Amino acid sequence: MARIAIVTGAGAGLGREIAVGLADAGYGIIVADRDERAATACAHLIEQRAVPVRKVCADVRVPSDAECIVSAARQLGGPHVLVNNAGGWTPQRQYPEATAEEWAATISLNLVAPMMLSQLVLSPMREQGGGAIINISSSAGLDSTSYGSPEYGAAKAGLIRFTSSLSGLATSHGVRMMCVAPDWIGLERAQAQWALMSPAERAATRPLIPPVDVVAVVLQLIREGAGGTVVEMRGGDQPLVPTP
């Protein structure tokens, strides 16, 4: 029986790359995304891999939706893996111009939702004999320079510390929680922005990280990573696991 992985934000971008990569590795996939059309398209891609797949149209910030995601995984015999990938921020207004409701929504998506889903999968993972949780953070949570969305940077920094704080889950629940913090990933939108940059701007910017490299790190962590591990990924460099 296939091991079952939940991937949030799996309808497009990095989430879709991770979902397909896990399917290629033999995992059954719960495709969770609030965009039903995108989730359906991703599910069709995974069906071609002849592994179990279920689409769940859900907003990970809503507790009842998060419970539906975990329930779908349980129905397929899991979950064994959770990839907290859903994230981002709206381009309209950022802190301090954004309203409290607007910037709180960004924190909810990027930090509170992964915390909630992680909590929900702990018991079923322990029942299955253990599991792995991968939190997708960002270099925005590592850097100390000015950033366009302070609330996003703060949430991603919180996700990194949340991960390292819970290294003990491996002992208490048999669940290894780990984190990947990549820089600019070479997805479609980033490639379009890269194409618009001048040669001088490109020379002053680290190269885009191929999505396949991020997927490879996620798979390696699931297979053999230690609980509490945070992997930094910078364009042009090898992935870095900081020394505690």
Q: What CATH number should be reported for the domain whose range is 4-231?
A: 3.40.50.720
Strands 53-57 and 28-33: parallel
CA 209 to chain centre: 15
> What are the structural domain ranges in the chain?
4-231
pTM for the model stands at 0.93
Average pLDDT per run of 10 along the chain, which is 244 residues long?
A: 94 96 97 97 95 97 98 97 93 89 95 98 95 94 88 96 97 97 76 66 73 95 96 84 60
pLDDT of residue 1: 77
| Alpha carbon distance 24, 21 (integer Å) | 5
The pLDDT, as a whole number, for residue 199 is: 72
Please state whether beta strands 4-8 and 28-33 pair in parallel, antiparallel, or not at all (unpaired): parallel
Measuring CA to CA, how many Å separate 102 from each of 88, 98, 109, 111, 147? 13, 6, 11, 14, 17
